[in-house]
Amino acid sequence: MEPKIGAHVSISGGFVKVLDREEKLGGNCGQVFVHSPRVWSFGDLTDEEAEEFRKEYKNRGWGPILVHSNYLINLATPKPDLFKKSVETLKEELKRAGKLDMEYVVFHPGSHTGSGVEKGIQSIVQGLNMVKDTIPEDTKLLLENTAGKGTSLGKDAEQLEKMIEQSELTFEETGICLDTCHAFSAGYNIHNKEGLNKFIDDFDSRVGWENVKAIHLNDSKHPQGSEKDEHEHIGEGEIGEKGMKQIVNHPKIKEKPLVLETPVDKEKGYKENIEEVKKLLDR
């Protein structure tokens, strides 16, 4: 099976443009925001635009396309206003993903900002229950592991398992997206073979590896356990070329869609990073 590799791309000019944009980078899966990630409001998505996208997306025959949730959303917050806004925004994102036939909505569980881990997890569980009925039939809501910075929740399999297990959601509706930079920053030593296997076993035993639906493939600017969330070009960070080669060739990783969120700067963009991943893959 051809590996699935893609990148996070812009929706500017309309959703249908996403498809060409991805193919130009050498991608056959990908990710988008359905609205600006740092504002609450949404632009229009007409039925015509959605239909045009759905038709063309089906024609291309590749995917999946992930929707990455807005960064303002925080289901773990103790602030009622922010919680309410977060639930409403996540609902709208889920609706839009469904309207566009996009397979997954990925979100960061949130930060408890002082209320404590248990309260934070309870709040996330409540939020998950509130959006449950909005999850479209062919779309799953994926919880993403975080680097564990500050009071952010979801840095390991144990916390993510708790959120899902305590909620009313089943794996028909939900799943996990694993970010390699976040896992490494959160303390998993995935840059060596033994650590990578332990990481996979941890998620397999707690949530089931089959429920890990996508990988955010990123190198890390900061060392293992630093809890810092800053992505680096594939092979140029602290995970490094050797570590990345091990990761992308692991049979349990290789089978998942690999979506890059690597930097775009003067030297390199997504195209170069996708090429790098393809080079690292044993053929």
| Sites of contact with Zn ion (CB under 5 A) | 144, 229
Minimum CB–partner distance for residue 48 and Zn ion (Å)? 30
C-alpha angle with apex 144: 84 to 148, nearest 5 degrees? Answer: 90
DSSP string covering 126-145: HHHHHHGGGS-TT-EEEEEP
C-beta closer to Zn ion: residue 51 or 86: 86
Q: Residue written as tokens 């807005």? A: 70
Q: How far is the CB of 231 from Zn ion (least distance, A)?
A: 6
CB 212 within 8 A of CB 142: no
Closer CB to Zn ion, 101 or 229, in the complex: 229
Please report the sign of the dihedral spanned by the C-alpha atoms of residue 70, residue 75, residue 77, residue 80: positive
| φ, ψ of residue 221 in degrees (nearest 5) | -70, -25
Q: Which is nearer to Zn ion, 144 or 219 (CB)?
A: 144
How many Å apart are CA 180 and CA 216, to the nearest integer?
6
- Min separation Cβ 107 and Zn ion, Å: 8
**Least distance from C-beta 250 to Zn ion, angstroms?**
20
Interacting residues of 283 by C-beta distance below 8 A, sequence separation 6+: none
- Compute the least distance from the CB of residue 59 to Zn ion, in Å: 28
Nearer to Zn ion, 23 or 238 (CB): 238
**Minimum distance from residue 127 beta carbon to Zn ion (Å):** 17
- 260 Cβ contact partners less than 8 Å away, ≥ 6 residues apart: 5, 6, 7, 8, 216, 217, 218, 234, 270, 273, 274, 277
CA 192 to chain centre: 23
Q: How far apart are CA 61 and CA 70, in angstroms?
A: 27
In the complex, the smallest distance separating the C-beta of residue 1 from Zn ion, rounded to whole angstroms, is: 26
- CB nearer to Zn ion: pick between 147 and 274: 147
Closer residue to Zn ion in complex, CB, 93/144: 144
Tell me the residue nearest to Zn ion as measured from the CB. Answer: 229
54/268 with CB nearer Zn ion: 268
Q: Which is nearer to Zn ion, 108 or 162 (CB)?
A: 108
Minimum Å distance from CB 151 to Zn ion?
Answer: 16
- Measure the CA angle with vertex 178, ends 268 and 141; round to 5°: 115
**Phi and psi at residue 260, in whole multiples of 5°?**
-85, 140
**Residues 259 and 208 sit within 8 Å (Cβ to Cβ):** no
